[in-house]
């Protein structure tokens, strides 16, 4: 197989896989809501209504957005949030997903200040990390706390403390850094 064919196949996979995953998740969500509400539609209207899941998904997302913008809705969502964070199995997945979304969302709480390269796990080897704050305790004043995520699963990783002078700037946005980690280094930012 020539290099050119291999490159085109790789580029095709990188474009198709995210779209396929998105379609699969949306199809699952629409199917789930359709499955829940088709019996209700059949009882109310005497027949099933195709596409009800799509409509209900849009309405559910819209209602959640409306609730999140007023005082009573915020309190209700905080209660729901606390409930999910206290359920043993759900807690792990929900908390990790929520933190990751908040870290990379433009309007959300920015957990990651910037992307850096830090020598880790040994001298001469660099890992991509995200600055999350300043150092702690007796560490020098120019020490930063850096979260070094594991590739493919950025919800687990290591907390490293390094001096500002010991880190390198890869010139990546937080979003580009997350994409690089999640893809295992396959999806590279433009110009790199």
State how far the Cα of 84 lies from the Cα of 102, in Å rounded to an integer. Answer: 16
15: confidence class by pLDDT, cuts 50, 70, 90: low
* Residue 101 vs residue 37, higher pLDDT: 37
User: What value does the mean pLDDT take over residues 7-22?
Assistant: 70
User: What value does the mean pLDDT take over residues 175-180?
Assistant: 84
Give residue 125's pLDDT: 93
Give residue 34's pLDDT: 80
Q: What is the pLDDT of residues 102-135, one digit of tens each?
A: 665 555 556 788 999 999 999 999 999 999 888 8
The secondary structure element, H or E, covering residue 160 is: strand 153-163
Token pair listed for 2: 């020539």
Nearest to 77 by CA among 61, 64, 94: 64
* Share of residues in the chain with pLDDT > 70 (%): 86
User: What value does the mean pLDDT take over residues 177-183?
Assistant: 83
Is residue 53 scored above 80 in pLDDT?
A: no
Give the chain's count of helices (H) and strands (E). Answer: 5, 5
Q: What is the DSSP string of 100-127?
A: HHHHH-SSS--S--EEEEEE-SSTT-EE
5-9, 63-67, 83-87, range with the lowest pLDDT: 5-9
Q: How far is CA 23 from the centre of its chain?
A: 17
State how far the Cα of 133 lies from the Cα of 117, in Å rounded to an integer. Answer: 15
Give residue 44's pLDDT: 81
User: What value does the mean pLDDT take over residues 2-6?
Assistant: 76
Query: Which long-range CB contacts under 8 A does 45-52 form with residues at least 24 apart?
Result: none
User: What value does the mean pLDDT take over residues 37-58?
Assistant: 81
* Residue 192 vs residue 139, higher pLDDT: 139
pTM exceeds 0.75: no
18: confidence class by pLDDT, cuts 50, 70, 90: low
């Amino acid at each position: 197989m020539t290099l050119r064919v291999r490159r085109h196949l790789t580029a095709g996979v990188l474009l198709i896989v995210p779209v396929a995953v998105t379609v699969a998740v949306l199809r699952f969500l629409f199917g789930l809501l359709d499955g829940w509400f088709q019996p209700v539609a059949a009882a109310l209207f005497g027949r099933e209504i195709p596409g009800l899941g799509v409509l209900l998904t849009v309405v559910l997302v819209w209602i959640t957005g409306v609730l999140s913008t007023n005082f009573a809705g915020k309190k209700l969502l905080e209660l729901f949030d606390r409930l999910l964070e206290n359920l043993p199995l759900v807690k792990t997945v929900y908390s990790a997903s929520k933190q990751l979304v908040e870290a990379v969302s433009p309007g959300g709480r920015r957990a990651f200040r910037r992307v850096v390269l830090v020598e880790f796990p040994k001298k001469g080897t660099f890992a991509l990390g995200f600055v999350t704050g300043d150092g702690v305790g007796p560490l020098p004043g120019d020490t930063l706390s850096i979260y070094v995520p594991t590739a493919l699963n950025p919800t687990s990783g290591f907390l490293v403390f390094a001096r500002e002078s010991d880190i390198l700037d890869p010139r990546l946005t937080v979003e580009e850094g997350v994409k690089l980690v999640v893809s295992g280094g396959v999806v590279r930012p433009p110009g790199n």
